[in-house]
Every structure is written in C-alpha cells, then in structure tokens.
Amino acid sequence: VFISKTIIAPMKNPTTALVALYFLLLQFTMFLAHASDQIQIPARHMLGSYKEANPDDERLTTVANFALTTFLAGGSSRAYSFSALLGGSEGDASKTESGVFVKIINAQQQVVAGMNYRLMLGMFQGEDCLGAFKVTVYDRFGDMSVTNWGDEVSCEEAQTSFEEAS
C-alpha cells in the first residue's frame, strides 16, 4: 500500500499543529455561537405552574358558584366586610336573594392530580361593586373543596384587575 508523503506528512513541529487545532476549534465555536443566535426557541411555561384562565369558561363558572355557595353556607374561615350584604340563597349561587351577583374578575388554573383554580370573585349589585375576595378551589375530577380563603380585595383593585384582564 502506497501512502503519499504529501498527504500524511510527519509532524515536524507539534506546537504548530496544536495552534492550528486551537484556531480550528475557535472558528467552530464562533460558528456555533452565531448559529445559536439564529435559532428561535418558543417560550414555555413551567410545568405545574399557574396559568391564566378564561373567566368565561363554563368550568370556572361552576367553580365560582361552588366557592360562593360554600361561602354563603358559612364555610369560609374568613369574614369579609361585604358578607352582610349577600343574604344567601340555595341552588344557583351566581345571584343571591338581595340581587347581588358574582363576577369572575381574574382566574388562574394549575394542573395537579386534578385542577387548582385561583379566582378573584367580585360581588356586584347592579353596577355597584360591594367587594371582592380571592379564593383557591381544588377540583379533583368533580369533587371540589376550597383550599384557601384569600384576602379581601378592594373594589378599586378588582376593577383594575378586571380591566387589565379584558
């Protein structure tokens, strides 16, 4: 087998070969850095984190009604300043006996072994805001429970949150 001396020349100076290899690696690294700037990677939400939810979703209406029904039945561990204005009713909790209705101001959901919903619910009588509060409801495939009765929210903050979400 004949191998040309011009193709595989004996290495006369190992330092020159190392310098050449260094510059070759440097050029390759610069190429990769430039190429990575051209690649668009879509933003992703962390798995298990809360994500914004559509307040008009029928499931959220069911969850909000559950939270309000639980609240009206005395299931809340917190007292809110507007509680006396609500005068509870059985059945559909979206409207109470005193003409007060509930609006979902803000909603987030989190997939767990079931679904967590973080809601801001506003209590309104006509156009007048009576108050709002935050609540977290856990829905394990139709079996719901309130896991956190959150802070009371001022009408101004509720209105601002509603306008930002719209």
Q: What pLDDT does 89 receive?
A: 44
Domains recognised in the chain with CATH numbers: 51-165 (3.10.450.10)
pLDDT greater at residue 140 or residue 25? 140
Cα–Cα distance for residue pair 135/67, rounded to 1 Å: 7
DSSP classification of residue 84: G
Assign 6 a pLDDT band (cuts: 50, 70, 90): low
State pLDDT tens for residues 78-129.
888 888 777 654 444 455 556 778 899 999 999 998 999 999 999 888 888 8
pTM higher than the cut 0.75: no
Q: What are phi and psi of 21, to 5 degrees?
A: -65, -40
Residue 137 has pLDDT above 70, yes or no: yes
Q: How far apart are CA 124 and CA 79, in angstroms?
A: 18
Residue 25 identity: L
Locate the DSSP E strands across the chain. 51-52, 100-112, 114-125, 128-140, 143-153
Q: Which of 39-43, 69-73, 84-88, 160-164 has the weakest average pLDDT?
A: 39-43
pLDDT band, very low/low/confident/very high, at 38 (cuts 50, 70, 90)? low
Residue 38, number of CB atoms within 10 A of its CB: 6
141 and 131 in contact (C-beta within 8 Å)?
A: no
User: 115 and 124 in contact (C-beta within 8 Å)?
Assistant: no
